[in-house]
Amino acid sequence: MISTTPPTIPQTVLKDTLVNDYLVADYAVAVFREVMRVAQIARQGFDADDIAAIVAEEVLNNSASIMARYPNPALYARQRARHAGISFDRTQRAQRGEGVRLRRDADGALQPHRRYLSGNATGANSPDELFSFAIDALIEFEAAADDRLLISAMLGSQSLGLSADELNEVWLIDGCGYAVQEVAAMRRQRRETVSRRLSNTRQRLKDHRQ
Amino acid sequence: MSTARLKLRYRPAADALSGHVRFASHASTSVIAESPDADTKLLWSSEHLLSFQIVHAAARLVDGELPFPREVAARVALLITSAQRSPTEVDDPLTRLLTIVEANSEIALEDLRRTEWPSRPPSEPVPRSPALVANSLRVLADAIEHRAVGEEPEAIHTNHFSRLLRELSSTIGHGCGEVAPGTSAAARAASRQGVALNDSELAVVQSALHELDDPRLWPHASRSIEQLVTSLAK
Given a contact cutoff of 8 angstroms between Cβ atoms, the answer to whether A32 and B14 are in contact is: yes
Task: Give the per-residue pLDDT at A10.
Answer: 43
Residue of B37, B97, B138 to mutate, interface with A, max A Cβ within 10 Å? B97
Task: Give the per-residue pLDDT at B89.
Answer: 67
**B173 with A2: Cβ contact below 8 A:** yes
C-alpha distance from A206 to closest chain B C-alpha (Å) = 37
Task: Give the per-residue pLDDT at A123.
Answer: 42
Q: How confident is the model at residue B77 (pLDDT cuts 50, 70, 90)?
A: very high
Positions of chain A with pLDDT lower than 70, given as ranges? 1-19, 44-45, 95-160, 209-210
Q: Where are the domains of chain A?
A: 11-97, 113-209
Q: Cβ atoms within 10 A of the Cβ of A209, count?
A: 6
Q: Cβ atoms within 10 A of the Cβ of A131, count?
A: 12
The residues near A128 (Cβ < 8 Å, ≥ 6 apart) are A122
- Express each pLDDT in B155-207 by its tens digit: 888 888 999 999 999 999 886 778 899 999 999 999 988 888 888 999 999 99
Of B14, B35, B51, the CB nearest to A46: B51
Q: Where are the domains of chain B?
A: 3-112, 130-233
Cα dist from B178 to A36, A185, B163, whole Å: 16, 45, 19
Set of chain B residues whose Cβ sits within 8 Å of the Cβ of A72: 166, 170
Distance of CA A185 to the CA centre of its chain: 9
C-alpha distance from B6 to closest chain A C-alpha (Å) = 8
Set of chain A residues whose Cβ sits within 8 Å of the Cβ of B170: 34, 72, 74
**B170 with A34: Cβ contact below 8 A:** yes
Given a contact cutoff of 8 angstroms between Cβ atoms, the answer to whether B10 and B54 are in contact is: no
* Secondary structure string (H, E, C) spanning B23-67: ECCCCCCCEEEEEEECCEEEEEECCEEEEEEEECHHHHHHHCCCC
Mean pLDDT over each residue of chain B, to the nearest integer: 85
Task: Give the per-residue pLDDT at B140.
Answer: 93
> Considering only residues 192 to 221 of chain B, which have any Cβ-Cβ distance to chain A shorter than 8 Å?
none
β-bridge partners, B43: B33, B51
Residues B218, B220: Cα–Cα separation, whole Å? 5
Pairwise pLDDT comparison (A118 vs B13), residue with the higher score: B13
B33 touches chain A (CB under 8 A): yes
A54 touches chain B (CB under 8 A): no
Give the residue among B229, B231, B226, B189 at the shortest CA–CA distance from B210. Answer: B189
Task: Give the per-residue pLDDT at A209.
Answer: 64
The string of DSSP codes covering B72-116 is HHHHHHHHHHHHHH-------HHHHHH--EEEEEEEEGGGGB-SS
**Counting every residue, how long is chain A?**
210
Q: How confident is the model at residue B76 (pLDDT cuts 50, 70, 90)?
A: very high
Distance of CA A34 to the CA centre of its chain: 26
Give the residue among B138, B136, B163, B129 at the shortest CA–CA distance from B225. Answer: B136
Task: Give the per-residue pLDDT at B28.
Answer: 58
Record the pTM: 0.69
Mean pLDDT over each residue of chain A, to the nearest integer: 71
Task: Give the per-residue pLDDT at B211.
Answer: 92
Give the residue among B68, B86, B72 at the shortest CA–CA distance from B11. Answer: B86
